[in-house]
Structure 1
């Protein structure tokens, strides 16, 4: 969220309007000042989460008597540094590329609809209300930005409103996209009246929907990436322990823990709860055939990692010299 505020506050508004007025897409994107520096707080938080999780794991191992004094999580380990590169540096590069792509899509769509520079700029970065800029697509991923555009553009005309509403066989009305209740009511009222959503109501809904989508993305990133950082650091500390203490990696037991209720849990993850494998580098094999070293392992892909709440516990079945 801090990164989005940074992006919005560093837009060169005059240069943006000027470039859009000249149909200069690349110039408009340059005026948005989208670069890796905007995600400085994200990078710091991710790196810290990884470091703290590793240090906490080392302390727990020491408390269990598995390792002696001097057991520490080493952020300078090449594997740890590689994790930072892949999950922090490359992620930020991906965010930047994604934001530029989203901006280009919005600009091109705006031109295709015959919108003027100011309206396209507002679609990009939102409006200033109460001294705070909100709305717009900055900070949203591609799919969420597309949903925002579909809803906000649809509300602007009677035809667009009709496109947002699905009429059931029984005459019931529902929206094509999930929006907040107040926005749904405004769209349904406009549909019944055969009009666009009144401007004053539309502006409120645009801000509400944009903020809701942004919060949803922030929550998803927070849950998913924190889980990745914590579990990856825990696994890395055990790797470092095995190497530094000369332990037998095959004597490490890993147990998958499903930490959330079954109502919204993934069936594969619920089925895995309590499953143990022997060997630090032995993967868990999920019912669908996916192999993961631990919950939140990037090898599981989005299917198994987005908003996952699972955990993994590690234990040593014996200590060196006590076989």
Structure 2
């Protein structure tokens, strides 16, 4: 049988695509739900709050996303409960109770609170895009379509919008648009260095630079729209990996808490070990330094070299700098000799 860490890796590999698909479906729903006419009217009045309201950034759009995270939490909790070490000389049946009040509090943090954070990010990104559009003197129609995306020929949903991007990503799109619209050859050339651009547009950009001409607003909309789609794909991948990992780690911690309660042993008997997961091409040095570090007790936090306190890898308390796309893992065990002299 595969090791427990391997089983959790398999679980993550199975669930991450579902979380990503649910996130992308939520963004498509939000973009298609924008009231374009009402949005334009409010932009014409420079009613910023009213424009944000017209975007209909409703948390309910993430219902399927939350449901998949709930399933992830439950599956991870059940897997962990079936692998809690047995006390010596006993036979304890460990079952994960997702309806336990403490588990419900954790799952709210994993689902509802995370969706609230995502919606707030959407609002902030939209607000920044609108203000940028006002400063550039862009027509309300174009600002509205930049936000919601455009429906191309033969398509039934909007693509290329700002909704769904993180704050920094919205800034990258705004920067690309400003450079392309500037007509300044030096500024336009900087677009050719943006790593997630669609290189199929490079020839048109290079020609405009050589000819000393501006690109049309429609061409700029196509180029930035495609760039936005690529950034959204990156964010969906990041969200899927991060949120799935958070749900799994939180469920494992909660499952162990429930199981320990059936053994009669105190939480101090638990030993938790941080396992560095490799980190892909850019592993976090601080997480490499944490590899193999142990803490005694179920509620004792890990203290990272920068002073950050985390209950486990992918603990939201670590923020994006420690959680985004983190692949670290956790080993939990029970020292059943605890308290013996």
Tell me which interval the TM-score lies in, with the shorter structure as reference length: 0.7 to 0.9
- Mapped to 1, the partners of 2:120 and 2:282 lie a distance apart of 32
Q: Is the 8 A contact 1:164 1:177 kept in 2?
A: no
- Mapped to 2, the partners of 1:252 and 1:106 lie a distance apart of 49
Post-superposition offset of 1:231: 0.8
Report the more deviating stretch, 280-289 or 36-45.
280-289
Relative to structure 1, is the Cα distance of residues 261 and 127 closer, same or farther in structure 2, using a 3 angstrom cutoff? closer
Post-superposition offset of 1:311: 0.2
Relative to structure 1, is the Cα distance of residues 162 and 321 closer, same or farther in structure 2, using a 3 angstrom cutoff? closer
1:242: which partner in 2?
260
- Mapped to 2, the partners of 1:111 and 1:287 lie a distance apart of 44
Over the residues paired in the alignment, what is the CA RMSD in angstroms? Answer: 2.8
Please give the per-residue CA displacement for 1:175-215, whole angstroms capped at 9, x wherever unaligned.
36753444556544433443334566544422321111101
- Mapped to 1, the partners of 2:147 and 2:128 lie a distance apart of 10
SS at match of 1:256: strand
- Mapped to 2, the partners of 1:30 and 1:186 lie a distance apart of 37
2:186: which partner in 1?
162
Query: TM-score, length-normalised on structure 2?
Result: 0.81
| Matching of residues 175-214 of structure 1 within 5 Å | 175=193, 179-183=197-201, 186-197=204-215, 202-214=220-232
Report the more deviating stretch, 136-145 or 251-260.
251-260
Query: TM-score, length-normalised on structure 1?
Result: 0.86
2:132 aligned residue (109, 119, 142): 109
2:56: which partner in 1?
33
SS at match of 1:156: helix
- Mapped to 2, the partners of 1:180 and 1:75 lie a distance apart of 45
1:82 equivalenced with 2:100 (yes/no): no
1:251: which partner in 2?
269
Q: Extract unaligned runs of 5+ from structure 1.
A: 167-172
Q: Is the 8 A contact 2:86 2:92 kept in 1?
A: no
2:327: which partner in 1?
309
Post-superposition offset of 1:263: 4.6
Post-superposition offset of 1:282: 3.0
- Mapped to 2, the partners of 1:271 and 1:320 lie a distance apart of 28
1:98 equivalenced with 2:121 (yes/no): yes
1:133 equivalenced with 2:186 (yes/no): no
SS at match of 2:133: helix
Q: Extract unaligned runs of 5+ from structure 2.
A: 1-23
1:169: which partner in 2?
none
1:218: which partner in 2?
236
1:54: which partner in 2?
77
Bigger share in strand: 1
Relative to structure 1, is the Cα distance of residues 185 and 278 closer, same or farther in structure 2, using a 3 angstrom cutoff? farther
1:282 aligned residue (292, 295, 300): 300
SS at match of 1:128: coil
Please give the per-residue CA displacement for 1:288-313, whole angstroms capped at 9, x wherever unaligned.
33332221122322221111100001
Q: Is the 8 A contact 1:154 1:163 kept in 2?
A: yes
Please give the per-residue CA displacement for 1:152-193, whole angstroms capped at 9, x wherever unaligned.
23212313x533545xxxxxx963675344455654443344
- Mapped to 2, the partners of 1:69 and 1:318 lie a distance apart of 14
1:152 equivalenced with 2:192 (yes/no): no
Relative to structure 1, is the Cα distance of residues 54 and 223 closer, same or farther in structure 2, using a 3 angstrom cutoff? same
Post-superposition offset of 1:265: 1.1
